[in-house]
Amino acid sequence: MLYLAIATNPDQTIDGEVLEAYRERLGLLESDFKALHPNTRFQFALYPWNRIEAAMQHRTGAGLGPDLLLVNGMTAIRLLEAGLSDPYPMTPEQAMDFEPAELDRLRDRHGRLAGLPVLLNTQLACFNSTRLQQAPRTMGELLTISAKGHPIGLSLNVYELIWSAGSLGALPALNQAATGQMPSKESLNGLERWLAWLQNANTYQRITFYPDQETTDREFQAGRLDWIPCQSTALNRLRSKLGSALAVAPLPSGEGGEASPLNQLRLFALGKNSSGAGRAQALAFANFSITPLSQRNLSLGSQTVLPANRFVGIPTNSSKTLAAMAVAAKQGQQVNTLTKQLHNNLDRVERTQSVINALVFSTQSPVAGGQELVRIFRGQR
Amino acid sequence: MKELSLEVLGWLGYLERPAVMLQLALIVAAVVLTRQMRRRRWLGRWPLLGYTPLGLGLLAALALLLQKLHQPHGLCALWTWLWLGWYSLQLLSQQLLRWLPQERVHQIETRLLRPGYLVMSALVMINELDNVQDVALAWLIQRAVGMSSSRRKALELMLRYAVVTLGLIAVAIHLGLNTTALIAVAGGLSVGLGFGIKEVFSNFVSGLWLLFEGSVRPGEVLMLDGDPCEVRKLGLRATLLWRDRDNAELLIPNQTFFTEMATTYTASDRMRRSQVSVGAAYHHDPESVIALLEATARQVNRVLPNPAPKALLLSYGDSAINYALRFWIANPMDNVTICSEVNQAIWHAFKREGIEIPFPQQVEYSMVWPPEQHLPNTGNH
């Protein structure tokens, strides 16, 4: 028996539908693995990533922790540092399959590897192709289509909004502040431009901010929205309701540059409580999941994730979805440093969220909001 | 049912883990030791009720020892708490004997307190073994029983009414109401059902049936007197429908849906095929008119591209060739407005292409009396 714990987006209510989606996705790997290890059985549980640490603390304390955890990079590092997972024993041959810089980001301060990268979830633009012929390619086009009567939905969640920071030129200021520097005047202008855009967007009649991504997805599914940013993992769920009307594209760029979607690299981390046989099975399954054939099957079969193995090609010509995801993967590299900074300090995320909320609801000006964000990212109270 | 059994059997896999086995062994040892001590009176005059605290103390000490040794100890700690709760029930019974007779206390203990505590303990244990919060188990149980959400709602309503009825009867009996009188009232009610409140009862049963069947659910679109109406609420007596045409809310008795035919556009999908009719003059080539009609429909935003719009030559009329343009729409509630958009688009397209929409014309002229003196085409009228 292989016990698996999977971290999910806290925005997403864990219900039967979500469970079924994960079961299907895991099934892609499971059936092939069972051909080699017929006696293996899987049991998995889902936890929102912001509560997984507490849950693992409790379960590991009772000896009932999972054998494998499918989590994002920063959660894996936090679990390793809290003694709730074991470092991953990656062989030099396996290490060749990944970018060395990427692996370095997955190491804790003692240099231990927090997990084995398996797949990449990306953030995309989802639109209703029966109403929109093509997705907006720039932030200007996004406003134009909304002015033409196409309703647009955005989640207020900072993780879901950070893509627009790249498009509007706020990333240099945030990156400088995150490394403790005072942003230059030019960078600060970019930051204020982003915040002003967010504030103005809420005044547009056809742009609506929703409290979380789940609500945004639900409105889109119901046909009340024509364009939303969406997670690639939600595509199957959206497609089940919208059918062929669902189309995807990369998120729009802007005067500040390319969009900066917050993609999530998912890793297999090793649990603490496994028996000898359980650990051997966990390692066998994790190693199997990064073989080129498994990675390709996982990506092509689901059409919602990209392979983590850098030597596995993505047939972008055959699928618009995969092509958009490949673009998003490239765009997302801009925020790797920032993501690490955000994840390492959850208090920082909460304070940033408060600033975004205050801005969108016009209780704070973009200038004051920009200064506040610089203070937060520089670690000042 | 198979999936639920597999999930429960999956918990046995934890027994492979040495840390779990060690904790279980310590728990069993502490319980057995306590029972032996009590049975053989190892401590001489020590009261019988005093042996359990010794066992509890021993188990708590073992849990602490495991914690000190950085070993999993949560199961030992949990069992200590559960055992303490069970022991507290014993103490509670002792206290109750002061106010209630022994037989009554025994009844309360065996029929209420202990079964209730056992159920609660089982739930706590299941929560420890599986993540109940992620509804995995609830979802599996729902799937095992094969109950849909509408049926669950129906069952919930029926249970609620059953509980209220039983409660009323219990209160009546407790107040000393004669059971013969109750039977007489029930007899009277059945006569009343036969005459006065037959309709109410019929609607009530129809409502429950519709809920079970799932044929009329909130969100469905039904045709009522030729108008599409959305089901807003399925009540026990009547169903609340919303009619888009005049924003009216209609309360339709449930038995209407039970006994009469109803047309729905949302049973398996929400698509509807719609149609507009138009006439074109005889001198226009029907093939080019059909092609123009289909192209026009394709350009209307809310007309679905798939299945493609289809124009047909229907008949040769008195003054025009009659055509029908059939197309599919995503939301049946939008039928009237989309038909209006299509009709407008046809008018513009016909005008642009010089296609005439003929209409019957009448020429009136006066006759000369007597008719024999009337000379046609001579200009004397």
CA-wise closest residue to A2 among A13, A20, A29, A16: A29
The number of CA neighbours under 13 Å toward the Cβ of B349 is 21
| Contact between A61 and B13 using a beta-carbon 8 Å cutoff | no
The number of CA neighbours under 13 Å toward the Cβ of B61 is 7
Which of the four pLDDT bands, split at 50, 70 and 90, describes residue A341?
A: low
Nearest Cα of chain B lies from the Cα of A14 at a distance, in angstroms, of 6
Looking at the structure, do residues A236 and A373 belong to the same domain, yes or no? yes
ipTM: 0.73
For the cut 90, the answer to whether the pLDDT of residue A73 exceeds it is no
User: Residue A359 is part of a domain; what is its CATH number?
Assistant: 3.40.190.10
Task: Search chain B and give the residue with CA nearest A8.
Answer: B134
Asked, for residue B377, whether it belongs to a domain, the answer is no
Looking at the structure, do residues A212 and A353 belong to the same domain, yes or no? yes
Per the document, the length of chain B is 381
pLDDT score at B143: 60
CA pair distance A194, A271, nearest whole angstrom: 41
| Contact between A46 and B10 using a beta-carbon 8 Å cutoff | no
Looking at the structure, do residues B281 and B254 belong to the same domain, yes or no? no
Asked, for residue A323, whether it belongs to a domain, the answer is no
Structure tokens at B339: 């038909």
Asked, for residue B374, whether it belongs to a domain, the answer is no
Nearest Cα of chain B lies from the Cα of A201 at a distance, in angstroms, of 25
Taking residue B350's Cβ as centre, other Cβ atoms within 10 Å add up to 20
Nearest to B19 among A15, A19, A63 (CB): A63
Contact B256, B326 (CB under 8 A): no
pLDDT score at A344: 62
What is the model's pTM?
A: 0.65
pLDDT score at A264: 85
Looking at the structure, do residues B316 and B214 belong to the same domain, yes or no? no
| Contact between A62 and B330 using a beta-carbon 8 Å cutoff | no
Chain A residues closer than 8 Å to B74 by CB: 58-59, 61-64
Of the three residues B246, B268, B290, the one that is the final residue of a domain is B268
Chain B residues closer than 8 Å to A223 by CB: 330-331
| Residue span of the structural domain in which A362 resides | 123-262+333-377
Looking at the structure, do residues A254 and A267 belong to the same domain, yes or no? no
> Domain tally for chain B?
3
Asked, for residue B304, whether it belongs to a domain, the answer is yes
Q: What is the DSSP string of A179-208?
A: TTPPPPHHHHHHHHHHHHHHHHHTTSTTEE
Nearest to A223 among B18, B139, B331 (CB): B331
CA pair distance B303, B329, nearest whole angstrom: 5
Chain A residues closer than 8 Å to B146 by CB: none
Looking at the structure, do residues B262 and B277 belong to the same domain, yes or no? no
Distance set, CA B155 to CA A265, B159, B163 (Å): 44, 6, 12
| Contact between B135 and A14 using a beta-carbon 8 Å cutoff | yes
Looking at the structure, do residues B276 and B328 belong to the same domain, yes or no? yes
Looking at the structure, do residues B10 and B93 belong to the same domain, yes or no? yes
Contact B274, B343 (CB under 8 A): no
pLDDT tens, residue by residue, A312-332: 888 777 788 889 999 999 998
User: Residue B208 is part of a domain; what is its CATH number?
Assistant: 2.30.30.60
Does A58 touch chain B if contact means CB atoms closer than 8 Å? yes
Looking at the structure, do residues A96 and A154 belong to the same domain, yes or no? no
Asked, for residue B381, whether it belongs to a domain, the answer is no
Chain B residues contacting A via beta carbons under 8 Å: 6-7, 10, 12-14, 16-20, 23, 72-75, 78, 128-131, 133-136, 138-139, 142-143, 301-302, 304-306, 330-331
Within 63-82 of A, beta carbons closer than 8 Å to B belong to 63-64
Looking at the structure, do residues A141 and A202 belong to the same domain, yes or no? yes
pLDDT score at B76: 93
Asked, for residue B164, whether it belongs to a domain, the answer is yes
Asked, for residue A319, whether it belongs to a domain, the answer is no
Looking at the structure, do residues A237 and A372 belong to the same domain, yes or no? yes
CA pair distance B166, A259, nearest whole angstrom: 63
Looking at the structure, do residues B77 and B131 belong to the same domain, yes or no? yes
Of the three residues B94, B123, B141, the one that is the final residue of a domain is B141
| Contact between B13 and A41 using a beta-carbon 8 Å cutoff | yes
Looking at the structure, do residues A203 and A160 belong to the same domain, yes or no? yes
Structure tokens at B186: 């029930």
pLDDT score at B214: 67
Contact A135, A154 (CB under 8 A): no
Which of the four pLDDT bands, split at 50, 70 and 90, describes residue A60?
A: very high
Chain A residues closer than 8 Å to B20 by CB: 63-64, 273
Structure tokens at B88: 């507290």
Chain A residues closer than 8 Å to B10 by CB: 1, 41, 43
pLDDT score at B270: 65
Looking at the structure, do residues A257 and A267 belong to the same domain, yes or no? no
Segment A362-368 mean pLDDT: 87
Looking at the structure, do residues A165 and A232 belong to the same domain, yes or no? yes
CA pair distance B286, A57, nearest whole angstrom: 76
CA pair distance B229, B222, nearest whole angstrom: 5
Nearest to B135 among A15, A61, A244 (CB): A15
Looking at the structure, do residues B76 and B163 belong to the same domain, yes or no? no
pLDDT tens, residue by residue, A137-195: 999 899 999 988 899 999 998 888 999 999 999 989 988 888 888 888 888 999 999 99
CA pair distance A152, A149, nearest whole angstrom: 9
Which of the four pLDDT bands, split at 50, 70 and 90, describes residue A359?
A: confident
pLDDT score at B132: 63
Return the residue in A4, A64, A129 with the most chain B beta carbons within 10 A, the one to mutate for interface testing.
A64
Looking at the structure, do residues B189 and B310 belong to the same domain, yes or no? no
Asked, for residue A327, whether it belongs to a domain, the answer is no
pLDDT tens, residue by residue, A275-296: 998 999 999 999 998 888 888 8
pLDDT score at B23: 92
Looking at the structure, do residues B123 and B213 belong to the same domain, yes or no? no
Looking at the structure, do residues A277 and A238 belong to the same domain, yes or no? no
Chain B residues closer than 8 Å to A3 by CB: 13
Mean pLDDT of chain A: 87
Contact A254, A138 (CB under 8 A): yes
User: pLDDT exceeding 90 applies to what percent of chain A?
Assistant: 28
Looking at the structure, do residues B259 and B307 belong to the same domain, yes or no? no
User: Residue B286 is part of a domain; what is its CATH number?
Assistant: 3.30.70.100
> Domain tally for chain A?
2
Return the residue in B16, B17, B129, B333 with the most chain A beta carbons within 10 A, the one to mutate for interface testing.
B17
Predicted confidence pLDDT, tens digits, chain B (381 residues): 666 777 778 888 889 899 999 999 999 999 999 999 888 888 778 887 888 899 999 999 999 999 999 899 999 999 999 999 999 998 898 888 888 888 888 888 888 889 999 999 988 888 888 766 555 555 656 565 555 555 666 677 678 778 888 888 888 877 877 778 778 877 877 777 677 777 777 888 887 777 767 667 777 788 888 788 888 777 777 888 888 778 788 888 888 887 777 777 766 666 778 899 999 999 999 999 999 999 999 988 888 888 889 999 999 988 899 999 999 988 777 888 899 999 999 999 999 999 999 887 777 777 778 877 777 665 444
pLDDT score at B380: 46
Looking at the structure, do residues A217 and A193 belong to the same domain, yes or no? yes
CA pair distance A23, A6, nearest whole angstrom: 11
For chain A, how are helix, strand and coil distributed in percent, rounded to 5? 50, 20, 30
Looking at the structure, do residues B264 and B279 belong to the same domain, yes or no? no
| Contact between A43 and B17 using a beta-carbon 8 Å cutoff | no
| Contact between B16 and A1 using a beta-carbon 8 Å cutoff | yes
| Contact between A15 and B139 using a beta-carbon 8 Å cutoff | yes
Within 231-260 of A, beta carbons closer than 8 Å to B belong to 244-245
Nearest Cα of chain B lies from the Cα of A175 at a distance, in angstroms, of 36
Task: Search chain B and give the residue with CA nearest A16.
Answer: B139
Looking at the structure, do residues B163 and B78 belong to the same domain, yes or no? no
Taking residue B61's Cβ as centre, other Cβ atoms within 10 Å add up to 13
CA pair distance B375, A198, nearest whole angstrom: 83
pLDDT score at A228: 95
Nearest to A63 among B75, B306, B331 (CB): B75
Distance set, CA A18 to CA A8, A151, B136, B339 (Å): 9, 26, 10, 38
Which of the four pLDDT bands, split at 50, 70 and 90, describes residue A122?
A: very high
CA-wise closest residue to B224 among B333, B327, B302: B333
Distance set, CA B210 to CA B164, B215, B216, B225 (Å): 22, 6, 6, 20
Which residues make Cβ contacts (< 8 Å) with residue A380, sequence separation at least 6? none
Of the three residues B238, B268, B298, the one that is the final residue of a domain is B268
| Residue span of the structural domain in which B18 resides | 2-141
Asked, for residue B369, whether it belongs to a domain, the answer is no
pLDDT score at B268: 64
Chain A residues closer than 8 Å to B12 by CB: 1
pLDDT tens, residue by residue, A4-16: 998 887 766 666 6
- What residues form DSSP beta bridges with A305? A121
Chain B residues closer than 8 Å to A277 by CB: 16
Looking at the structure, do residues A132 and A221 belong to the same domain, yes or no? yes
